[in-house]
Amino acid sequence: MHFKNFDIAAFLGNSWQKKPLLIKNPWAAWANPLEPDELAGLACEEGVESRLITQPDAVWKLEHGPLAEDRFDSLGNKNWTLLVQAVDQHVPTVAALIEPFRFIPNWRIDDVMVSFAADGGGVGPHFDQYDVFLIQGSGRRRWKVGGRCDVQSALLPHDDLRLLANFEAAETFICEPGDIVYIPPGYSHEGVALGDNCMTYSIGFRAPSRSELIGDWCDDLLADMQGDDRYGDPDLAIQNNPGEISTSAVDRLHAMITDKMGNREAFSRWFGEYSSTPKYPEMDWQPDEKIEMEDLREQLQQGAQLARNPASRFSFIRRESSKFFLFVDGRSIECGGDTIPFAETLCAKALLTIDEQQTNSNSVMALILDMYNRGSLAFEPQD
């Protein structure tokens, strides 16, 4: 699946994080990647996050999955929607929908949520914290998009749903299969299915809040700190007033914090590990039996391709000192020589063919072996 008519540079310059946009079917050939029955099946599975939103008697109701299979029998053909989170982790054709959006860095990408709605179904007027591309898979949906909201925006009283009390649309888009609506963080929106078979794919992004970032970075720092690393003042001088916390004491106390928290090298390595930690670690691709180097090399020499586990996140940081860290599944791996171009390709491509120079390189092969045996990579099934 790829774009035929989509100007990425213009999108980034004019719309990304700035304003909503309707992108009329930009695909070379749009094909809906998932059947409604398969989505319903996922919503019945343990370990898959799903929600069912209904509006009986105009009252919004939320149920969490896993749903009983016969739950769908009594829903009727109006005013309900089923939403399943992270479908990309379960269905490769849905994971492939992320690929055209790789102009946004890997670490910003979250997952693909898929919704199915009966005529009139939707989740109500709301706003999200993150950017989202809403791809119309099948059927039609009317999107109404309003202005920017924030934590002060009034919500309807509801225990489970965060619906806006006052929603005014500034724009209305009618989406047909293949059309995409982009919504920046905070913009109010409401999508309502027009007719049957309305499926929408939400490519969601993530961005850490300052409080998450500070809290999680501090937790990591604290884990390595010793209780005896304490304030000291062997140069204590006589003060005029014992009540004063002196400038030199404040400087020294403040430095105790900034020395640790201001360490950019340590921060960047921690952030790479942190942001590559899988959200759904249960997507375990670890082989039952570890593969041996000889077997791995032979299969790759015969042209076997490697696929990235959709739950694994791959990224890297290049340091000025020519240091290069690859981050996979919450781990950092320092690369050098041949492993640098290999790691660059690994981060850029979902499917890898390993060339002769790489199968002959012990360091590249050791890296592949390690990732294969940990379940970050697996052979792509040949058909």
Structure tokens at 335: 């690369």
Smallest distance, Å, CB 321 to ligand SIN?
42
Smallest distance, Å, CB 30 to Co ion?
21
Q: Can you state the angle between helices 210-223 and 264-275, rounded to 10 degrees?
A: 110
Round to the nearest angstrom and report the end-to-end CA distance of the chain: 19
Smallest distance, Å, CB 263 to ligand SIN?
38
- List residues binding Co ion (CB under 5 A): 128
DSSP structure string for 13-72: HHTTTT--EEE---BSS----S-HHHHHHHHTSTT--EEEEE-GGG--EEEESSPPGGGG
Place of tokens 């343990």: 46
Smallest distance, Å, CB 102 to ligand SIN?
21
Q: Which is nearer to ligand SIN, 164 or 354 (CB)?
A: 164
Q: Which is nearer to ligand SIN, 91 or 343 (CB)?
A: 91
Q: Which of ligand SIN, Co ion, none does residue 361 bind to, with CB < 5 to 8 Å depending on kind? A: none
- List residues binding ligand SIN (CB under 6 A): 81, 115, 122-123, 128, 132, 134, 189, 191, 200, 202
Q: Which of Co ion, ligand SIN, none does residue 95 bind to, with CB < 5 to 8 Å depending on kind? A: none
The answer for residues whose C-beta is within 8 angstroms of residue 227's C-beta and 6 or more apart is none
Q: Rounded to 5, what percent of the chain is helix, strand, coil?
A: 30, 25, 45
DSSP one-letter code for 78: B
Q: Which is nearer to ligand SIN, 100 or 125 (CB)?
A: 125
Helix (H, G, I), strand (E, B) or coil at 147: strand
Q: Which of Co ion, ligand SIN, none does residue 115 bind to, with CB < 5 to 8 Å depending on kind? A: ligand SIN
Helix or strand (DSSP H, E) at 141: strand 132-148
Q: Which of ligand SIN, Co ion, none does residue 200 bind to, with CB < 5 to 8 Å depending on kind? A: ligand SIN
Q: Which of Co ion, ligand SIN, none does residue 202 bind to, with CB < 5 to 8 Å depending on kind? A: ligand SIN
C-alpha span between 379 and 77 (Å, rounded): 42
Q: Which is nearer to ligand SIN, 128 or 329 (CB)?
A: 128
Q: Which of Co ion, ligand SIN, none does residue 122 bind to, with CB < 5 to 8 Å depending on kind? A: ligand SIN
Q: Which is nearer to ligand SIN, 119 or 128 (CB)?
A: 128
Smallest distance, Å, CB 323 to Co ion?
40
Q: Which of ligand SIN, Co ion, none does residue 81 bind to, with CB < 5 to 8 Å depending on kind? A: ligand SIN
C-alpha span between 118 and 39 (Å, rounded): 14
DSSP one-letter code for 356: H
Smallest distance, Å, CB 51 to ligand SIN?
10
Smallest distance, Å, CB 181 to Co ion?
10
Structure tokens at 102: 């790789």
Q: Which is nearer to Co ion, 128 or 329 (CB)?
A: 128
Q: Which residue is nearest to ligand SIN (CB)?
A: 115
C-alpha span between 115 and 39 (Å, rounded): 8
Q: Which is nearer to Co ion, 128 or 131 (CB)?
A: 128
